[in-house]
Amino acid sequence: MVTRRNVLGAIATAGLLPRAWAAAGASGGAAPSEALRDIAARKGMRFGTALGHGARQFGDPAYRALVARECNVIVAENEMKWPALEPQRGQPRYGPADEMLAWAAQQGIAMRGHNLFWQAEKWQPGWLAHEDFGAQPRQAAEQLMRAHVRGVCGHYGKQIASWDVVNEAVDPADGQLRANALTRPLGAVEQIALAFRLAAEYAPHAELVYNDYMRPDTGSAKHREGVLRLLEQLRRQGAPVHALGIQSHIGSWDEGKADLTQWRRFLDQVTGMGYGLLVTEFDVNDRRLPGDIAVRDAGVAAATRDYLDVTLSYPVLKDVLVWGMADHISWLQNWHEAPRTDGLATRPCPYDAQLNAKPMREAIAAALRAAPPRTA
Ligand code: XIL
């Protein structure tokens, strides 16, 4: 159980309290002196966020300015997903993603691509479920995948230097690979390997990433095992997969406890196979922390620091992206799977709804400062 005492105890042990509270202090949200992008750059790293095209994010000049100040890499929150780029079969719609890409380029901010294939059927284009693959389903499925990758990677060319090629292939419940309209004709591992081969063909310059949400907590053990199994199979097949994207939606998702020893073991195994690492979607679910804001924010900051200290200790990891810079725009506000039981708004991001820096922002800065420098 999380009590005020043990949250504060953990934070005191982590040495976070004075800095954390200074960040939330009387100045009422003055911009922190050194931007996260600059702290990261000194280490040979990048810091960034997901950015949505809507009125409260890209459409809000204050939010956009915050992103420009803190970040040197962004990723579209939804706008480069297949259903967004091709809502009707054969009718591409690149507008919103292109607008954000043009803005980013103007600001000197890189943009990652997310994602070419999302394995859960729920997140694939609606029309894909009704696709008739005819008498030669294997060839037809491959052709469809090829057309998609050729279209999207051709459209972006070198502007996107890092792609989440496949997202969330492993079912966390049992560690098995998810099935969908493309895996059924092709086979699950084969379809994933094909996705990477196509990405290598049409975006030969790009870093190709397998992205998933396995976490350090004990409840995520099967998920981690399944991801390791998949990465081993892809290696054996010689699929061009360069790195594992660690989504990093951490915090209280289930009854499990964070086990950073297991986490380190997992990252050792992944890097031992020669894969790079990225933190692609970091946020901290605060649902089991008390409602009291100071206590809650301190708990989120402590979890941030503990997690990033271990994860950033791997020098192959060069990108840290959060999934939203400020609480009010976080996807977790409406995410049905793990809501706060007290009905309070969640506080999973480095800035609050008024765009004031929170202790979590300072914890990220501290973890970046403590990370070993990356060599080119
Ligand atoms: C989420 C977006 O934030 C939501 O707006 C959308 O409704 C669903 O997708 N893992 C991922 C991201 O890889 O693409 C998800 O983004 C969050 C979990």
Task: Burial-class residue 35 by CB neighbours within 10 Å (0-12, 13-18, 19+).
Answer: middle
Work out the percent of the chain whose per-residue pLDDT is above 70.
91
Answer whether 77 contacts ligand 1 (Cβ < 6 A): yes
Q: Which residues contact 343 (CB under 8 A, 6 or more apart)?
A: none
Residue of the nearest CA to atom 15 in ligand 1?
77
CA distance 351 to 325: 6
* Whether residue 179 has pLDDT greater than 60: yes
**Ligand 1 midpoint to CA 202 (Å):** 25
Q: Tell me the mean pLDDT in the region 340-358.
A: 96
Torsion of CA 169, 173, 174, 179, to 10 degrees: -40
The predicted pLDDT at position 5 comes to: 41
**Ligand 1 midpoint to CA 330 (Å):** 10
The predicted pLDDT at position 30 comes to: 55
Task: Burial-class residue 108 by CB neighbours within 10 Å (0-12, 13-18, 19+).
Answer: exposed
pLDDT tens sequence across 38-86: 999 999 999 999 999 999 999 999 999 999 999 999 999 999 999 999 9
Q: Which residues contact 146 (CB under 8 A, 6 or more apart)?
A: 198
The two tokens of residue 271 are 């890097």
Residue of the nearest CA to atom 5 in ligand 1?
331
Residue of the nearest CA to atom 12 in ligand 1?
77
Q: pTM of this prediction?
A: 0.92
**Ligand 1 midpoint to CA 365 (Å):** 25
- Which among 78, 124, 163, 213 is the best mutation to test ligand 1's pocket, defined by most ligand atoms within 8 Å of the CB? 78
In this structure, which amino acid lies at residue 81? K
Q: Are 274 and 307 in contact (CB under 8 A)?
A: no
Answer whether 331 contacts ligand 1 (Cβ < 6 A): yes
**Ligand 1 midpoint to CA 345 (Å):** 18
The predicted pLDDT at position 376 comes to: 66
Which of 356 and 4 is assigned the larger pLDDT? Answer: 356
Could you list the beta-strand ranges (E) of 201-275.
207-212, 243-246, 249-251
**Ligand 1 midpoint to CA 6 (Å):** 32
